[in-house]
Amino acid sequence: MRIGVLALQGGFAEHIRMLRSLQADTFEIRRREDALGRMDGLVLPGGESTAIGKLLKDLGLFGPLKERIRGGLPTFGTCAGMILLARRISGTDTAYFGAIDIEVKRNAFGRQLGSFFTEAPFKGIGTVPMTFIRAPYIERAAPEVEILSLADGHPVAARQRHVLATACHPELTADSRIHRYFIEQLCAAGAGRRDCLTL
């Protein structure tokens, strides 16, 4: 199992540590060549979505990654990663990969004083610890999108075929079950490939 972690800005080291604890082989994606390498899954970390989005485009990574995600590469985005994966971002005309049919709101719980920790049920896993840092939430989702978790009454985790997105940061907790879910249910199961065949 080989998983690429986008390493342009933000909390990528924490994802790498957690994926390695699950015996996954990981590598950092910083340059165009890295984006073309063999991988069974892709992780888009938390950080600042405007900064990561800008670097993706300037460094020539955006096109190749978008094509691969469209082509069925299992992808997991947390916080800023969720914003990069969303079809729409409230209040702007900008969107990035548009790989999951949701509309997200940036800093939806407010500024840093609105950041919080909670525990909530996550479909298929059980109750998990959740850390929200200036987090977004999902305002609208298409019927094909499966909502996996709610926090404070708002959808904060969702899956559409081979794409998984959470507004919280499982990589900042000691609980690796969401990463395990990504590896087992999306990467190992070849979620994208199978769906591509049935489409």
Partner 1 sequence: MQTEQTKQQYELNKNLAQMLKGGVIMDVSSPEQARIAEDAGAAAVMALERIPADIRAAGGVSRMSDPQMIRGIQEAVSIPVMAKVRIGHFVEAQILEAIEIDYIDESEVLSPADDRLHIDKSRFRVPFVCGAKNLGEALRRIAEGASMIRTKGEPGTGDVIQAVRHMRAMTSEIRRIQGLQEDELHYAAKELQVPYELLRGVHGSGRLPVVNFAAGGVATPADAALMMQLGAEGVFVGSGIFKSGNPARRAQAIVKAVTNFADPAVLAEISADLGEAMVGINESEIRLLMAERGV
Nearer to partner 1, 98 or 129 (CB): 129
Binding of partner 1 by 12 (CB under 8 A): yes
Residue count of the chain: 199
Catalytic residue from among 14, 169, 179, 187: 169
Is 187 among the catalytic positions?
no
The string over 66-76, giving b where at least 16 C-beta atoms fall within 10 Å of a residue's C-beta and e elsewhere, is bebbeebbbbb
Q: Which is nearer to partner 1, 66 or 106 (CB)?
A: 106
Tokens of 19: 């994926």
Give the residue with the Cβ less far from partner 1, 51 or 142.
Answer: 51
As beta bridge partners, residue 131 has 117
Report if residue 47 touches partner 1, rule: CB under 8 A: yes
- Cβ atoms < 10 Å from Cβ of 20: 12
Q: Which of 4, 11, 74, 155 binds partner 1 (CB under 8 A)?
A: 11
- The Cα 176–Cα 132 span in angstroms is 16
Active site residue 168: no
Residue 160 touching partner 1 (CB under 8 A): no
The amino acid at residue 24 is A
Count the Cβ atoms, other than its own, within 10 Å of residue 63.
12
Residues known to be catalytic? 79, 169, 171
- Point out which residues bind partner 1 (CB under 8 A): 7-14, 30-31, 46-48, 50-51, 54-55, 58-59, 79-80, 106-107, 110-113, 115-117, 131, 133-134, 169, 172
